[in-house]
Amino acid sequence: MFNIVLHEPRIPGNVGTIGRLAFALNCKLHLIKPYGFGEINEKQVRRAGLDYWYDLEVYEYENIEEFWQKYPMNDRHFFATTKTNRVYFQAEFKEGDFFYFGREDAGLPQSFLEKNEQGCITIPMTNNARSLNIANSVSIVAYEALRQNFANFK
């Protein structure tokens, strides 16, 4: 279906929650190291992911360059950021797209956003919040992509 890319995630419970969502939507989960915690098999990750974690299609990469060697940059890579005005529901998503989410404490590096400015998307907020929880953000974008492509997955 879709590809969820977490760049240097910091909180194991968020990774587990996102893994559970990825399983529910039949998405692949790509995790880019280094993590802000130990190993991906930590108890906190498994607890949030419940028993779905073992059936999830999850891949780990030592760094973003290793990931981009396997999945070169193109117009099907979307970067969630607060540093753009293009809202996520203005993008046209297709099966196989890549949705990137950055560290909980820093977001995605500016260099990623500059590589693909047309792929930057944001989730609008009507108050002065700095950002949303990463698991909520992944859910919002992934379900919009599903909504746009639902007829393909029935």
* Residues tagged in the binding site annotation for S-adenosyl-L-methionine: 102, 123, 131
Joined tokens for residue 55: 């059936």
DSSP tag of 52? G
Task: Compute the radius of gyration of the chain from its Cα atoms.
Answer: 15
Helix (H) or strand (E) holding 78: strand 77-80
Instruction: Enumerate the known binding-site residues.
Output: 102, 123, 131
Q: Which segments of 1-154 does DSSP mark as H helices, in order?
A: 12-24, 43-49, 64-70, 110-115, 134-149
